[in-house]
Amino acid sequence: MFLRKIRLTLEMIKFEHSVFALPFALTGALLAVRDAAFQIERPWIKIIWIIVAMVSARSAAMAFNRVLDAAIDARNPRTRIRHLPAGLLSKGFTWGFTFVASVVFLYAARQLNPLCFLLAPAALAIVFFYSYTKRFTAFSHLILGFCLGIAPAAAWIAVRGALDARILWLTAAVTFWTAGFDIIYSCQDYEFDLAEGLFSLPRRLGIARALWGARFLHVSMLFCLLALAHTLHLGWLSLMGIAAVAGLLVYEHSLVKAGDLSRVDAAFFTMNGYVSVLFFTFWAAEVLLDYSRI
C-alpha cells in the first residue's frame, strides 16, 4: 500500500519531468569545474549530490503545488482527474511526501558546502512561493522560470563554494525558456482562468498576444546563451548546441497556434525535454573537449 502511494505520488508530480531543469543544473556544475581548470576534488561526488538536491527540491515543490491547488484542480475540467481531486491520494500523505523531500533537499545541500546549506531554506521558500502567484500576478510564468533558473547558479555554488555573476546568464536563459513554455501550456486554461479570476499572461493579453510573448522570451533565452558562451570563452560545440536549441524552439512554436491548441502537449512535454537534453549534450561535450586538451 505504501509503495503504491509513492508510485502514485511520483506520477502526480510528473517525476520524469525532472529532465526539464536537471540538464541545465548539470551544465552549471560542469562549467564550474571547467572554470576551476578541472582542479575540483571528487567532482562526481558533488554532481551526485547536486542531482539529489535538484530532484528532491522539485519533488517537494510539485507536491506542495498539487496540495495547494487541489480545490482549483477539482473545478478545472482539464485537471480534475489529477490524483488529489480524483481521491487517489490524500492531502495528508502528500504533505508528508513534501516534508520528506524537503528534508532530503536540505541534507543534500549540507553535503555540498556551507553556503549551499545556508541558502537552501531560501531556495525552498522561492519554489513554494510560486504556487501562490497565479492568485495575484500575470507574471507567475516568470516566477516559475526563476524557480528553475536558480538551479544552474546553485550548482555553480555547489562546485565552487561561491557565486560567479557570469553563470547568471544561464539563470536568465532558463528563466526565459521556462516562462515561455509555461505561457504556451497555460493557454489551455484561458477560459477557466477567466472564469475563476486566476492570473496568467494569456488571460491578460489574450492567447495570440501571449504566444508572441512566449516567442520573445525564447529569443531572449538564445541571447542569454550566446552571452554566456562569449563570457566563458566557449567554442564551436556550445554554439552548435545553441543552434540546435533554436531549431527546436522554432519547431515548438510552429506546433501551437492561437486558434489551434491541440498540440500543446507535444510542444510542452516532448520538445522541451529535447531542448534541455540536447543543450546539455553539446555543452558537456564542449567541457569534455577542453578537459582532453589538458
Closest CA to 183 of 262, 274, 256: 256
Give the per-residue pLDDT at 128: 98
Domain containing residue 185: 2-292
End-to-end CA distance of the chain: 53
* Mean pLDDT score of the chain: 95
**Contact 112/158 with Cβ under 8 angstroms?**
yes
Give the per-residue pLDDT at 215: 98
Give the per-residue pLDDT at 109: 98
Query: Does the pTM exceed 0.85?
Result: yes
Q: Is 180 helix (H, G, I), strand (E, B) or coil?
A: helix
Q: Please state, in angstroms and rounded to a whole number, the distance separating the CA atoms of residues 294 and 110.
A: 32
Q: Is 257 helix (H, G, I), strand (E, B) or coil?
A: strand
Residues 230-261 have pLDDT tens digits of 999 999 999 999 999 999 999 999 999 999 99
Give the per-residue pLDDT at 90: 96
Residues 30-66 have pLDDT tens digits of 999 999 999 998 899 999 999 999 999 999 999 999 9
291 conformational bin, left if phi > 0, alpha if psi -120 to 50, beta if neither = alpha
Please give the tally of structural domains in the chain: 1
Q: pLDDT tens track of the chain, all 294 residues?
A: 888 999 999 999 988 888 788 999 999 999 999 999 999 988 999 999 999 999 999 999 999 999 999 999 999 999 999 999 999 999 999 999 999 999 999 999 999 999 999 999 999 999 999 999 999 999 999 999 999 999 999 999 999 999 999 999 999 999 999 999 999 999 999 999 999 999 999 999 999 999 999 999 999 999 999 999 999 999 999 999 999 999 999 999 999 999 999 998 877 778 888 999 999 999 999 999 999 987
Give the per-residue pLDDT at 294: 77
172: domain CATH number is 1.10.357.140
Q: Is 87 helix (H, G, I), strand (E, B) or coil?
A: coil
